[in-house]
Amino acid sequence: MPTEMVVCTVCEVHAEAVFRVEGMDCNEEVVILERRLKPLVGMESLSADLIGQRLHVKYDAAKLTTSAMVDAVGETGMRMWLEHEAPMLGGSALEWRWKLMLACGGFLIAAGILSLAGLPRVALPCYLAGTAAGIIYPIRRALTAARSHTLDINVLMVIAVAGALALGDWAEARRAWAKYDIECPPGDGAPEFDWGSTPVRLEPDGQGEVVWARRLDPARARIENVPLPTSPFRWGDVVLTDGAEEGQRIVDGRVYSVFNVLQRLAPSGFRTFVIEIATSQQEALDALEACATRLGGTAEGWGTSTRILCAACSRGLPHEHDDDGAPAHPHWGLAARDHDHAEMIVNQWLADTPSADLTAWYEAPGNGCG
C-alpha cells in the first residue's frame, strides 16, 4: 500500500513593498492604517514615513496581495498605491482638497476685509462659507473613522469646531468626547485637558512663525512663547489648530508634530513689547524673566529661543545648515497687559538688579494687527 505525504499547499513567499498614501498626514492616520492592515492574513510588518507619505510593508505574497492592501486602505478614506505606479484617480481627490482650501481662504479673507470696513453683517455669510469649505474634508474623514469606531484627530477636531464655533454648546461636545472614553475636566464650559506642549505654526500662509503652545483639547491650544514683534498673535492667545501634521520638531529625542493655526479663538489681553538689553550678564537676564513672571507677564530672549529655518526645514524635519543658530530676532520680548504694565515690569527689574541695563524698550509693531 503506497504511503502518502501531506504537504502544505501554500508556501511562504516573503516580499516587501513601498506604497504612497494620500491622506496619511499625522500619527492618528498611521494608527488607523495599522488597525486596518495588521489583521490581514499574511501581513508581517509595516512602518510609516509621515513626511514622505510612504508606507513600507513586509508581507507573505502567497497569502496577501498588494491589491488587497490597497482595497483595505481605501475603506479608511485614504488612497494608497505602489510607489512605482501612477496614483489612482489621477489625483482628482487632491485637486478637490486644494480647491476647498483656496475657497476657505478666499471667504475668510473677504470676511476679514468686510469686518474691517465696518460691515459685520455682510461679513458673517463669508465667515460661515469659509468655515463650511474648510471643514468638508475633515468631516468626510471623521465619518470614515467614526464608522470604523476609530478615534481619529478629524473626529475630535470636527467635534471641537462644531462645539466651539457652530453650537457654542460645550456640554454636548463633552458628551461626544466621553463616547470615545476621553475624560473631560469638571465643569460646563470649554474644557482644558492640559495635554502637554506642541509646536504650532502661526500665519501658515504668511511669516510661518512656529511657537510652542499648551494643548487644551484636540483642536485648541494656548500660546506659550512671546511671538515675534511683527506677529498679530500674543502670548496666551487661544488658537484653533488643524489636525494635519506639517513638519516636525525634535526635543530631547522626542518628535513633536507641528500643526497649523487656523484662527485665534480667544485673545489673551496681552500685548508684545521689545526690550533692547545692553547687558549680557546671565544673572540680569534671569532676573528679567523672574520679574516679569512675578508681576503677571512673561519675558523671553528671542536671541537664544528662536532660530531661522528654511521652508523645507520648517515644514519637514529640521536639518543642518551652514548658518544654523542664526536667531530670528536679536532682542527680548515682553508680554504685558498694556504700556503701564510693561513699564512697571521694566522699572522693577532695573531697581532690583544692579547689573541690569537696557538701551530702549518699545511696543511691538504687530500690536496694531490684532
Q: Which amino acid is at 9?
A: T
The grid coordinates of residue 69 equal 492592501
In a domain, 75, yes or no: yes
Does 286 map to a domain? yes
Q: Is the dihedral of CA 270, 272, 273, 277 positive or negative?
A: positive
Residue owning grid cell 510607489 = 83
List, in order, residues 6 or more apart from 67 with CB less than 8 Å away.
Answer: none
Cβ contact 246:16 at 8 Å: no
Could you read off the pLDDT of 126-177 as tens digits, one per residue?
777 776 666 666 655 555 555 555 555 555 555 555 555 445 566 666 766 6
Domain boundary among the residues 53, 70, 86 is at 86
* 307 lies in some domain: yes
- Identify the CATH number of the domain in which residue 65 sits: 3.30.70.100
* CA-based max dimension of the chain: 108
Domain that holds residue 303: 271-369
Q: Which of 86, 116, 141 is the last residue of a domain?
A: 86
Residue 119 lies in a domain: no
Nearest 5°: the CA angle 280, 286, 290 is 145
243 domain-assigned: no
The residues, any chain, with a CB within 8 Å of residue 369's CB and separated by 6 or more, are 230, 231, 232
Q: Which three cell numbers stand for residue 71?
A: 482595497
Report yes or no on 293 lying in a domain. yes
Length of the chain: 370
Can you tell me the distance from the alpha carbon of 29 to that of 244, in angstroms, rounded to the nearest whole number?
10
pLDDT tens digits, 175-214: 666 665 567 778 777 778 778 899 999 988 788 899 999 9
Angle at 242 between CA 45 and CA 88, to 5 degrees: 50
Q: Could you give the number of structural domains in the chain?
A: 2
The sheet with strand 332-336 has its strands ordered as 298-301, 332-336, 271-277, 358-363
Using the 3D structure, point to which of 36, 61, 86 is the last residue of a domain.
86
pLDDT in tens, 61-114: 888 888 889 888 887 767 888 887 655 544 445 566 667 677 777 887 887 788
- Report the CATH number at residue 288: 3.30.70
- Residue 145 within a domain: no
